[in-house]
Amino acid sequence: MRLHSGNRGGNRSDGSERICNSMKLKADCGATTAHRTDLLVRDESGQAVAEFSLVLFMLVLILFSILETGLVLNEKLVLTSAAREVARVCAVEGGKTSGALARLDELLVLSGIDTSKVVADITPKQAIYGTTIRVSLAYDYDVLSPVVGSVVGHTITLTAKAVTRSEFVPR
């Protein structure tokens, strides 16, 4: 049997194969511990699996972070819009009125936000023409993804503020 000095045609030629060929004991050489260890050290097929398993967590974290960020930004936009709308109603009606609170609840319910988790601070309670009205909303957003929740926490506090002047003239 002829031994190749190089790696031609995909055939692997190492010292263990030469020894086995010269001894005519191929079956016994395949079972030796030294031969197996040599193959395991030189074989790189498991390296890709190990690298992929290390990178997979980061890929999943990035994917779910992107999705969760989109959901958080949506809730933030809803809160900002609701704060502006409530400030407009307060400006027209003259402060913190039942109409303004009803409009806030309506906007939050339509957008799917739990109204019990929103804290609204509207000052002043009564305002005449030219008075500054401040509307502040705070909402504890529950993180949906357990992957992202383990990194950033299970709740994120979102806030929105709006400031306007009262247009209410008492009659």
Least confident of 44-53, 88-97, 161-170: 44-53
Of 57, 156, 162, residue with least CA distance to 104:
162
The pLDDT tens digits of the residues spanning 131-148 come to 999 999 999 999 998 888
Is it the case that residue 40 has pLDDT exceeding 80? Answer: no
Longest dimension (CA), the chain: 114
Mean pLDDT, rounded, for 29-41: 59
The pLDDT tens digits of the residues spanning 110-120 come to 999 999 999 99
More confident residue, 11 or 72: 72
How far, in Å, CA of 166 to CA of 97, rounded?
Answer: 13
Q: Could you count the other beta carbons within 10 Å of the beta carbon of residue 96?
A: 21
Write the DSSP string, 62-98: HHHHHHHHHHHHHHHHHHHHHHHHHHHHHHHHTSS-H
